[in-house]
Structure 1
Amino acid sequence: MQGTILVIDGVSTNRIILKVQLTAACFQVLQADSLSAAMALMKDNRPDLVLTAMTLPDGDAADVKRALDRVRHGAGVPVIALCPQNDRGTRIMALSAGIDEVLPLPVDDMILQARIRSLLRMRMQDDELHLREEGVAAFSVPLKDTTAAQITQSDATVALVCHDLQTAQKWKSRLSANVDFRLKAYNVDAIQDLMRTPVPDVIVIELNEHSAGMALRLLADLRARISTRDSVVIAVPNPADASIAAEALDRGAHDVLHCGFQVDELTLRITAQLAHQQRAEMIRNTLRDGYRAAMRDPMTGLYNRRYARPFLEQVTQDAQSAGSNFAVMVADLDHFKRINDAYGHPVGDAVLIEAARRLQAELRGCDLLARIGGEEFMLVLPDLHPDEASTVANRLCRAISGSPFVVKGCAQPLEVTISVGAIVAQQGTQPLSADDLFVAADRTLYEAKHAGRNQAAIKGLTQSAAA
């Protein structure tokens, strides 16, 4: 089955007709004859989409939308309302209430199926984002509340793309009286201008009898390109044409004006799509922040052990495939506990932050520096010649000991040193796991410690290094 659709209609023949249409398209169909019956079904079922009559025995389509938003699994479920006549006022009222689509009866099966497919695609994308958001929340810092944020749209740019520039300018003039969006007019040939950075937030494309083919290709192109794939695309068949509208939806349009260009309806659809887009972007930003927090040390900004281990595994695999060398180092600030005991943890934290900065400054862009413990750091240096490893390790020691640490709260600068243990994995040596490499580098670190600290100990990778 492609999904579950809840059909709500007080007229049994309407429900039967819709069930036949939807079942033939491999949807599972639930039926209810009233709003109250639908809500009872929602207790044990989670439909992917709701198809409701505009008027019900105990409410209307707007009541259905409000009731869904109050149910645990109902918020965000797409709603299509069916009205007896193609009444513009009723359609505007329903769209204003948050209903996703309004279609006239008898419903055109082609446009209905295309609209269902389009809304379900958006629903699945939303579900995937929310699942990832929940996954990040399980091992990360608390995420920001995306529902509480105020969505502002005055800075949004809307491109109006028509068969000819004169029509686009006319649409711009009519729309400008209703909206605060920044409007730009293009003809359908101006694809280079349209894709010039920054790309529009919304692209409205006219599909008329002269340029429908070209405009549909442009629509598909916009949805496929990296630069414009996050832009909202709204198609406007002009004049109205159900087959062209259906094709536009199947080619990736987020929305369609079935009845041609109408200012108030287009305004509502742009506003709704922008709100959806911005909520999704907020979740994506939260995901990025959450993953970053999970992989970074909050004090120093360096990567942590959770990130460093798989990084080392990947470097190991790449080196084995390419026959290249690399180094793994473990570094530890000497007598760090004395700093905390003598000056307090705030001073110790400041020393760690400055030490991380100095160490990072000595590395290449491809190298990894991670904080893996209190005062302990791990370094992974891909494609490093064995002769260079000693040079780098000693340079790291000098970066810390070369000049005192000036820390707020300390009357005198602090003398800080570091010890480094390095393992160099050379071409042809026995491959070891990331854990074995770390253990070998850690043992080498303690050789540097026992030799007097403030120095580096270097070993080539041999079988005995991990023994």
Structure 2
Amino acid sequence: MQGTILVIDGVSTNRIVLKVQLTAACFQVLQADSLSAAMALMKDNRPDLVLTAMSLPDGDAADVKRALDRMQHGTGVPVIALSANNDRGTRIMALSAGIDEVLPQPVDDMILQARIRSLLRMRMQEDDLHLREDGVAAFVMAPKDAVGGQISQSDASVALVCHDLQTAHKWKARLGASVGYSLRAYNVDAIQDLMRTPVPDVIVIELNEQSAGMALRLLADLRARISTRDSVVIAVPNPADAGIAAEALDRGAHDVLHCGFQVDELALRINTQLQHQHRAEMIRNNLRDGYRAAMRDPMTGLYNRRYARPFLEQVTQDAQCAGSNFAVMVADLDHFKHINDAHGHPVGDAVLIEAARRLQAELRGCDLLARIGGEEFMLVLPNLRRDEVTTMANRLCRAINAAPFVVKGCATPLDVTISIGAIVGGQGERQLSSEELFTAADRALYEAKNAGRNQAVIKGLPQSAAA
């Protein structure tokens, strides 16, 4: 089955007709003859979409929407209302109540099926984002609220794309009287202009009899390109055409005005789609922040052990394929416990932050520096010859000991040194696992510590590098 649809209608004949249509399209259909019966059914079932009559024996479609929003597993379920009165006032009232679509009865099966497919795609995308967000939240702090916040009309831009520029400017003048968005007018063949940064937040495309084919190709192109794939696309058949509207939805339009261009309805649909876009962007930002928090050390901003180990695995594989060398280093600030004991942890934290900054400044863009615990760092340096490892180790030691650390909260500058253990892997060497490489570098670090600290020991080379 493609999904579960709950049909709510007080007229049994209507329910039967809809069940036949939807079952033929491989949907599972649940039926209820009233709002109360539907809510009772929802206690044990979670539909993917609700298809309701505008008027019910104990309420209306707006009541259905409000009841769904009050249910834990009902929020966000798309709602399509079927209205016996196909008038603009009824549609506007329903759309204003949060209903996703209003279709006239008897319903055109082509537009109904296309609208269901479109809404279910959007629902699955939102569910996927929420699943990823929940997964990140399981191992980092709870993300920021992704539901709150409203986008300001002055912050959004809307492109009006029509068969001819005259119509686009006419739509711009009529819509501009109702909304505060930045409006731009385009001809249907102005795809290069649409791609220019910043791309519009919303692209409204006219599908008229002369240019419907070109406009539909443009719609599909916009949805496929990286620069515009996050822009909202709303199609406007002009004049109204159920077949063209259905094709626009199947080609990726987020919404469609199946009754043709109407200012108040278009303004409502733009606002609704922008809110969807805004919430999705907030979730994506939460995901980025969550993954960053999971992979970064919050104090120094360096990567952590969770990120460093897979990175090392990849470097070892790349070195084997390319026949190149690489180095793994484990570095530890000397006598760091004394700094904490003598000056306090805030001073110790400041020393760690400055040490991270100095070490990072010596590295190439392809190198990795990670804080793997306490005062210990791990470095992975791809494409480094054996002689270059010694040079790099010396530079890292000098970066720390060449100048005292001036730290807020400490009356005098602090002399800080570092010990480094390194292992060289790659060409001509036995292939080691990341764990073996880390252990070998850690063992070299202890040799550097035992040799008097403030130096590096590079395993596999005949000499040690003294700082």
Cα deviation per residue 1:336-382 (whole Å; 9 max; x = unaligned)?
00000000000000000000000000000000000001000000001
1:19 is matched with 19
Structure 1: stretches of 5+ with no match in the other structure: 463-467
Contact 2:316 2:426 in 1 (8 A): no
1:160 is matched with 160
When the two structures are superposed, what TM-score results if normalisation uses the length of structure 2?
Answer: 0.98
Q: In the TM superposition, what are the counterparts of 1:291-310 in structure 2 within 5 Å?
A: 291-310=291-310
Once residues 166 and 353 of structure 1 are traced to their aligned partners in structure 2, the CA distance between those partners, rounded to angstroms, is 60
SS, match of residue 15 in structure 1: helix
Q: In the TM superposition, what are the counterparts of 1:123-142 in structure 2 within 5 Å?
A: 123-142=123-142
1:324 is matched with 324
SS, match of residue 372 in structure 1: strand
Once residues 364 and 402 of structure 1 are traced to their aligned partners in structure 2, the CA distance between those partners, rounded to angstroms, is 20
SS, match of residue 413 in structure 1: coil
1:276 is matched with 276
Give the residue type in structure 1 aligned to 2:336.
F
2:378 is matched with 378
1:103 matched to 2:103? The reply is yes
Identity of aligned residues (%): 86
Q: Offset at 1:147?
A: 2.1
Q: Which moved more, 1:421-430 or 1:354-363?
A: 421-430
Contact 1:297 1:371 in 2 (8 A): yes
Once residues 458 and 147 of structure 2 are traced to their aligned partners in structure 1, the CA distance between those partners, rounded to angstroms, is 54
Give the residue type in structure 2 aligned to 1:193.
D
Cα deviation per residue 1:202-242 (whole Å; 9 max; x = unaligned)?
00000000000000000000000000000000000000000
Give the residue type in structure 2 aligned to 1:192.
Q
1:212 matched to 2:212? The reply is yes
Contact 1:424 1:460 in 2 (8 A): yes
Once residues 84 and 141 of structure 2 are traced to their aligned partners in structure 1, the CA distance between those partners, rounded to angstroms, is 50
Q: In the TM superposition, what are the counterparts of 1:140-155 in structure 2 within 5 Å?
A: 140-155=140-155
Cα deviation per residue 1:390-436 (whole Å; 9 max; x = unaligned)?
10011100000000000011111000000000000030311111111
Once residues 125 and 319 of structure 2 are traced to their aligned partners in structure 1, the CA distance between those partners, rounded to angstroms, is 37
Cα deviation per residue 1:29-68 (whole Å; 9 max; x = unaligned)?
0000001111111111110000000000000000000000
Q: Which moved more, 1:419-428 or 1:56-65?
A: 419-428
Give the residue type in structure 2 aligned to 1:409.
G
Give the residue type in structure 2 aligned to 1:360.
Q
Once residues 155 and 351 of structure 2 are traced to their aligned partners in structure 1, the CA distance between those partners, rounded to angstroms, is 43
1:50 matched to 2:50? The reply is yes
Q: 1:32 to 1:130 in 2, by over 3 A?
A: same
Contact 2:84 2:105 in 1 (8 A): yes
RMSD across aligned positions (CA): 1.0
Once residues 101 and 368 of structure 2 are traced to their aligned partners in structure 1, the CA distance between those partners, rounded to angstroms, is 51
Q: Offset at 1:145?
A: 1.2
Q: Offset at 1:149?
A: 2.5
SS, match of residue 184 in structure 1: strand
Q: Which moved more, 1:319-328 or 1:276-285?
A: 319-328
SS, match of residue 394 in structure 1: helix
Contact 2:153 2:179 in 1 (8 A): no
1:185 is matched with 185
1:406 is matched with 406
Contact 2:95 2:102 in 1 (8 A): yes
Q: Offset at 1:461?
A: 9.1
Give the residue type in structure 2 aligned to 1:21.
Q
Structure 2: stretches of 5+ with no match in the other structure: 463-467
2:465 is matched with none
Q: Which runs of 4+ in 1 moved over 4 A?
A: none
Cα deviation per residue 1:291-319 (whole Å; 9 max; x = unaligned)?
10110000000000010011111111111
1:417 matched to 2:383? The reply is no
1:389 is matched with 389
1:74 is matched with 74
Contact 1:426 1:460 in 2 (8 A): no
Q: Offset at 1:322?
A: 1.5
2:335 is matched with 335
SS, match of residue 267 in structure 1: helix
Count of residues in correspondence between the two structures: 462
Q: 1:461 to 1:235 in 2, by over 3 A?
A: farther
